[in-house]
Amino acid sequence: MSRKKNILWAPWRVKYVTESDDMDCIFCEKPQQEKDKENYIIHREKNCYALLNIYPYNNGHTMVAPYMHSGDITEIPEKVFCEMMGLVQRLTGRIRKKMGAHGFNIGINQGRPAGAGFDGHIHVHIVPRWDGDTNFMPVQSGVKVIPESLDSAYKKLSF
């Protein structure tokens, strides 16, 4: 039995896929633009900030990044790293409270072999998870359903 393949068109991602090595650092550019709502920056601190991932694995998928440009966690000063982890902690609590998340995947991908899409700038991913948030769509059709818009998540999580 031949299986029909469905195609999900996402032309806005072509620049990310084909030019990622030539792109400027989004983690340096976005906070300098002073367009927090348009860039989905939900919170700023002295040395770091939090923003929504515009290519989320789940709704509420956020990232915390230092303003300092470095792809190596060992180069981040301890006070900056502590501020980042404090923001990760507060943001995790906020996502639990505002979105009702049951669990989280939290991590840092350092270097392209480790899965870092932007390997030149360290950032922490916070991916909310819910009991039963897996379903047949990714398994049967390779499609992930994100049930909430970025604008709605921005309104819930900004502080």
What is the domain range of residue 140?
35-157
Q: Residue 47 maps to which CATH number?
A: 3.30.428.10
Residue 25 lies in a domain: no
Residue 102 lies in a domain: yes
| Contact (CB, 8 A) for 123 and 82 | no
Q: Which residues are catalytic?
A: 123
| Contact (CB, 8 A) for 110 and 116 | yes
Residue 9 lies in a domain: no
10 Å Cβ neighbour count for 151?
Answer: 11
Query: What pTM, to 2 d.p., does this model score?
Result: 0.78
Of 51, 49, 50, 65, nearest in space to 110 by CA: 65
Predicted confidence pLDDT, tens digits, the chain (159 residues): 455 556 556 665 555 555 545 558 999 999 999 999 999 999 999 999 999 999 998 999 999 999 999 999 999 999 999 999 999 999 999 999 999 999 999 999 998 888 888 889 999 999 999 987 765 445 445 666 677 889 999 999 999
Residue 12 lies in a domain: no
Residue 92 lies in a domain: yes
Of 26, 65, 52, nearest in space to 146 by CA: 52
| Contact (CB, 8 A) for 98 and 79 | no
CA distance 61 to 57: 6
Residue 4 lies in a domain: no
Residue 16 lies in a domain: no
Residue 53 lies in a domain: yes
What is the tally of structural domains in the chain? 1
